Structure 1
């Protein structure tokens, strides 16, 4: 009798385990259309969804996407973007093996507006003002006094083929755009893939980001202005191929701020043969500082920012380009631009001024090179693979 009971218990456990495994493995993906303004808390389970139009997450509303989901828009239907309004939250629960992918049907760069998030963290915009109007086609105000603003959490998210010009045809968008987003927001393991503008752009705010990949974006891999001051950034990787401008374009809207962002573990790579986005507008340096842009950077790897020939003119790429005399005086000489443990290869010059009149000389210890600096380091997975290609080259 005891043996019989033991067998029954074992068989019950076996079938229960099998049932559970089979059930989870056979759950079909959900489907549906996402459109309009979402004003009710909504969870999108694992599935394949269609995003149609300029979808907005309203203030007081949380929208969640489960791991493994794919959200596809189609430029043939008109302008498309996912916009998180100030006070709204976007929660994306991707994983390394099951990222959440936002893509576009044609697979062409510049086909939609990407993910745009608004907050009310501090900014310092042109003229020293603390509010401004967005340049994404939505024409919304941004900037405030809440450094802890929380717009949600984006984990293991890939945005593909963004960078569309919305509204009037001149408002370019990035894969990820952050307007005055605060430090309560989590940005981790994100991929900006083959967009027609920047991979990531920060307009002020205090948010930090970790484990970022910017791959094959036409403009800059990373860009910021309006006094962005994220302090806990690490593991940023920019890979420019075929067409691309600066690895990093850094400005502070012509304000001599006392603060600066801090980033560690950076890799910027420009593939041989990559051309600037627009002929005649030669932007080929790894890191450009202008309009009082600044920052402290440690463990930086720069490769491939060499000479570029257009017509009969040869342009020299630089690891670091200081674009104007004011930035040189206030930010370089003032110690608010620091780059330490920098490894440079296949690049025409280490440091350059935009003209012979700008002679750049960093204070001692503020620019140091090291042949051993590895730059960014990642654990690859499905999250870092697109179109069958491992993006961590």
Structure 2
């Protein structure tokens, strides 16, 4: 049954993702079936959109300090491709985009079903006044430059809740990109939960400094990294799901999570030190020899003096498992000194890449990375076989693969089987996990065996959706 399951997954992965294997080589024809209200320029007052209308974001639509943009549940907003339509909440501006499970707010491509692609528009950028570890920083991809960051860790940029962001992300030049959702210096009073970024042309989520927390985040079929943290980000994140198109990866190298203190790897403070718990990051490799882009790299890449903590998570399916760079006085030292922790995680890797389970670099060694992951007090596990049936595959009553949306389902049931070995075993006793932000669930990974937090508001087949 195991071999049959693996064969089925390989066939399904090849067929479902075919339409988005690579960047489009032709210019699709936009869908002009409805009148659109154009959003462009700057907003300095308060504006409430109407869910009965559809909107087009043209160029840089900037909510300036003092401006407030309210988006009701069920609103659909398109991004303009030719002008790289991008919604920007500047420092001091606010957005209240509050959808519901039944009526999510959708930011998506203006093109019709079957014609959409990554990079059809820019994305969403929130800029706040919370600390970053570099002075006078400006956000990537925006001209003229916009600064972010400040001295207020409690800064409030508004709410993003039950929101989908699709076919976004523009790589303007190397290291100058607009991500699906970009958060620069965003403060802790900002509320971000139940957000799905699908088919981003760069990272799905990226945090540049700030203290904002987040829950129930989905990165689906992005081009570069699923979750990227930089420049002193120190928030808390729980329940994150990352799933990859096996043929969609960036030439710069794509990872499940990529974490830096800053581009030079300095000791600037605040350190990049977020706490991730209950993440499930699954890459493109369901079995040995699976067809995929050669640009995929690491499940986890902790580097450049980052001090990232990861707990109660299930990760795997990339060519390399855990890569920790930096020796004395850098990234690896944060784990030996207790400034960062790796606790109660599960690493999956296929037997064809077992030599790449644990990797070091930039002054660190493979053996040190292995020791940091496998130290007995940490309770991490390693499964040398990307047998995702262990995670969510077969049961006598329901022999469905863990990725049932590969069968073309828009809103599959994503639950961890109750008999999974990881339906229990989570631990929140460490001080980094002991505050009230973290829900003390028994299961590891993002998915619960008793409920499905993705139900209703997510969409895993946005290429065929009608808006």
Equivalent position to 2:100, from 84, 95, 98? 95
Separation in structure 1 between the aligned mates of residue 185 and residue 119 of structure 2, nearest angstrom = 24
Distance (whole Å) between structure 1 residues aligned to residue 460 and residue 270 of structure 2:
40
Residue among 216, 222, 232 paired with 1:217: 222
Give yes or no for contact 2:302–2:308 (8 Å, CA) kept in 1. Answer: no
Is 2:213 the counterpart of 1:208? yes
Q: Do structure 1's residue 275 and structure 2's residue 293 form an aligned pair? A: yes
Name the counterpart of 2:21.
none
Rounded to whole Å, the distance in 2 between the matches of 1:209 and 1:203 is: 14
Equivalent position of 1:131 in the other structure: 136
Which residue is equivalent to 2:248?
243
Ranges in structure 1 where 5+ consecutive residues have no aligned partner: 1-28, 278-282, 307-316
1:131/1:144 contact within 8 Å kept: no
Contact 1:342 1:369 in 2 (8 A): yes
Kindly indicate whether residue 456 of structure 2 is the aligned counterpart of residue 382 of structure 1: yes
Q: Which stretch of the first structure deviates more once superposed, 43-52 or 53-62?
A: 43-52
Matches for 1:322-333 after TM superposition, within 5 Å: 322-326=324-328, 327-333=330-336
Pairs within 5 Å for 1:187-198: 187-198=192-203
Which one of 27, 49, 56 corresponds to residue 55 of structure 2?
49
Alpha-carbon contact 1:340-1:369 (below 8 Å) kept: no
Cα offsets for 1:87-141 (capped at 9, x unmatched): 000110111111111112242102222000111100113xxxx431222223222
Residue 306 of structure 2, aligned match among 293, 306, 309 = 293
1:275 shift after superposition: 1.8
Whether the aligned pair in 1 keeps the contact of 2:349 and 2:357 (CA below 8 Å) is no
Alignment RMSD (CA, Å):
2.4
Mapping 1:107-118, distance limit 5 Å: 107-118=116-127
Q: Which range is displaced more, 93-102 or 326-335?
A: 326-335
Deviation at 1:357? 5.9
Matched, 1:162 2:236: no
Q: Distance in 1 between matches of 2:219 and 2:232?
A: 21
Pairing partner for 1:338 from 329, 338, 341: 341
Decide which moves more: 251-260 or 113-122: 251-260
Structure 2 unaligned spans of 5+? 1-33, 286-290, 383-420, 423-442
Q: CA deviation at 1:274?
A: 3.3
Deviation at 1:389, TM superposition (A): 8.6
- DSSP-derived class of the 1:293 partner: coil
Conservation of the 8 A alpha-carbon contact between 2:332 and 2:364: no
SS for the counterpart of 1:142 is coil
1:172 counterpart (166, 171, 177): 177
**Aligned position for 1:369:** 381
Q: Rate the CA distance shift 1:145–1:382 in 2: closer, same or farther, 3 A.
A: same
8 Å contact kept, 1:50–1:71: yes
Encode CA deviations 1:355-383: one digit per residue, 9 max, x unaligned. 79624132653462285253002423332
How far apart, in 2, do the equivalents of 1:192 and 1:341 lie? 27
CA-to-aligned-CA distance 1:184-231 (integer Å, 9 cap, x gap) = 100000011001110000000000111000001110000011010003
Q: Does 1:37 align with 2:46?
A: no
Distance 1:262-1:44 versus aligned 2 partners, 3 A rule: same
1:338 positional shift: 1.6
SS at match of 2:188: coil
Q: Secondary structure at the match of 2:457?
A: helix
How many angstroms does 1:48 deviate by? 1.4
Which of 59, 64, 69 pairs up with 2:70? 64
The alignment of Structure 1 onto Structure 2 pairs a total of residues equal to 339
Q: Is the contact between residue 193 and residue 216 of structure 2 (CA under 8 Å) also seen in structure 1?
A: yes
TM-score for the superposition, normalised by structure 2: 0.68
Are 1:304 and 2:317 matched, yes or no? yes
Preserved CA contact (<8 Å) 1:62 1:89 = yes
Could you tell me how far apart the structure 2 residues matched to 1:171 and 1:112 are? 15
Which structure has the bigger radius of gyration?
Answer: 1
Distance, in Å, in 2 between the alignment partners of 1:367 and 1:333 is 15
For normalisation by structure 1, the TM-score amounts to 0.80
1:261 equivalenced with 2:331 (yes/no)? no
